[in-house]
Amino acid sequence: MSKELLAKLDEDLKFAGYAKRSRQSYVRAVRQLMNFWSKPLEEIEEQHVREYWLHCKDEQGWMPATMRISYSGIKFFYQHTLKRDWETLSLMKIKRHTTPPTVLSVDEVRDILYALPTEMNRNFYTVLYTLGLRLGEARNLRPEQIDSKRMCVMISEAKAGTTRAIPLPESTLEVLRSQWKTHRNPEWIFPAPGRTGKEAATAKQAVSETTVQGALRRTAKKLKMGKHVHPHTFRHSYATHLLEAGVPIQHVQQCLGHRSLVTTMIYLHVTESGREASREKLNQLVRGVLS
């Protein structure tokens, strides 16, 4: 029965418009609860859920972000899939702890790009960085999304369920063209190369997360980077570098596809040259007032 309920949960989440990765996280959270008690989901009572979360928080020392995923998944399951009206599901509060994102300098981005092992990997992370894409958006990039006349890239079905137009630098357009000419696959800019590495032209799937993540992880290790570098680090760096270059934050918000400006504002905490420019402008203002 629990297997069917987990399938029903995934169906309910899909119907509610949740992205694939969110659905996987929520289903995993409910499965963890079931495994903890070694009981079928329909036999787990409200007190069991309460004790489980207390155990995760106090005994396991789960971070707020992990607790939030568990809470959201289990809450959705019992409220919408099993239709349980439990006070515990609305009682727990989890404080948000936001930490500044890891950001690479322009030189560090350049070092990584040049050190990546293959042309495909270099092209992939160049596109990821220069367009500020999420990993899935870059992997699933299709030729028809590239608008060379308007010099923009159209990203649809993004995390927020919206469509956005990202400015396309001329050098990035050349990288995209060069990459596509290596295989001329009609569906993907970055098709799966296959086991032989020569199957990109006929691939029916985009390159896997494992392939591009593994290449980045090995390169960062080789360069002995003092930062934890992952694909999303390039998106963080893109946003920060735009702000440091003086691009208005509202425009950065549009490029990233953030629904709220508050989400974009986290990058204000990690801009270096932006702070220096602000100090200089403040100094000029004060000198002008007091002179």
The conformational region for residue 17 under phi > 0 = left, psi -120 to 50 = alpha, else beta, is left
pLDDT of 158 reads 47
What is the identity of the amino acid at 285? L
Q: Domain-by-domain residue ranges, the chain?
A: 2-91, 106-276
- Among candidate residues 254, 250, 286, 281, the one with its CA nearest the CA of residue 268: 250
Alpha carbon 178 to chain centroid distance? 26
pTM passes above 0.75 = no
Match 């005994």 to its residue by tokens.
Answer: 59
For residue 63, what pLDDT is reported?
81
Q: Where are the alpha helices (DSSP H) in 116-247?
A: 119-131, 135-139, 170-181, 209-223, 231-244
Sorted by sequence, the CB contacts under 8 Å of residue 242 that are 6+ apart come out as 132, 251, 252, 255
CA dihedral over 126, 131, 134, 140, signed as positive or negative: negative
Encoded tokens for 14 = 């899909």
Q: Is 34 helix (H, G, I), strand (E, B) or coil?
A: helix
Whether domain 106-276 has CATH 1.10.3720.10: the reply is no
Neighbouring residues of 265: CB distance < 8 A, sequence distance ≥ 6:
249
Tell me which of 1.10.1380.10, 1.10.150.130, 3.40.80.10, 1.10.287.3510 is the CATH number of domain 2-91: 1.10.150.130
pLDDT mean values, one per 10 residues, the chain (291 residues): 87 88 92 92 92 87 85 92 87 69 92 96 97 94 96 76 86 96 96 89 94 95 92 94 88 88 79 57 62 50
Distance CA 130, CA 120 (A): 15
